[in-house]
Chains A and B, each alone.
Chain A
Amino acid sequence: KAGVTQTPRYLIKTRGQQVTLSCSPISGHRSVSWYQQTPGQGLQFLFEYFSETQRNKGNFPGRFSGRQFSNSRSEMNVSTLELGDSALYLCASSGGLASYEQYFGPGTRLTVT
């Protein structure tokens, strides 16, 4: 089975721009979660989607948004980028309604200048 894939792997954006990151979960997995990793804050939960619905949301501003498509692929969007948004963005998928084991993609390294 192919693992979780994320595109792009690296991205450089300018402050004020917006960005869209993409995640394809493991085949058959219906839940996709997004995390932000920074040296100062560690791994922080952004949101989780299950069957195209946002099921959980972390404590991030409204500039961070996401969506999930009918094939379980997910995108996250960050608008009006700030320097502090520079981070590794990780997506994870899990299978089934009761599965708590999440499998991570390689991440997208976003640099905001």
Chain B
Amino acid sequence: DQQVKQNSPSLSVQEGRISILNCDYTNSMFDYFLWYKKYPAEGPTFLISISSIKDKNEDGRFTVFLNKSAKHLSLHIVPSQPGDSAVYFCAASRGGSTLGRLYFGRGTQLTVWP
């Protein structure tokens, strides 16, 4: 079963505006959450992560918000740039002995237009 879900397969945003990508999860045992960006024919590139003990983490233009009670996280990109156009994957880990296993969502295709 899909324990990490990205319900929006695509998102289109104008350059300079905010992009908000959403992710929901079902397993309350997840301890860590990550966002990856992927271009065609390349491996995913790590963007930003957050531990379940936090509710926000920022890195430059990227901010991840975690709402544990709703089992929901989001990635905000401000301002959006055309180079941000890619597929974004949300991933989660249970930590402990299963630290090396990530559960991925199906991805959201972000298109940033000029």
Contacts and interface: CB of A to CB of B under 8 A. Distances in A.
Nearest to A39: B106
Task: Give chain A's interface secondary structure class.
Answer: strand
Given A42-B106, A42-B107, A43-B89, A104 B100 contact: no
B95 interface: yes
Which range holds the interface residue count of chain A? 20 to 34
Which range holds the interface residue count of chain B? 20 to 34
B26 to A, nearest CB: 16
A107 B42 contact: yes
Interface of B: 31-32, 34, 36, 41-46, 49, 89, 91, 93, 95, 97-107
Please give me the 8 A-B residue pairs with the lowest Cβ-Cβ distance, nearest first. Answer: A48-B100, A104-B43, A43-B104, A100-B32, A56-B101, A42-B106, A100-B93, A104-B44
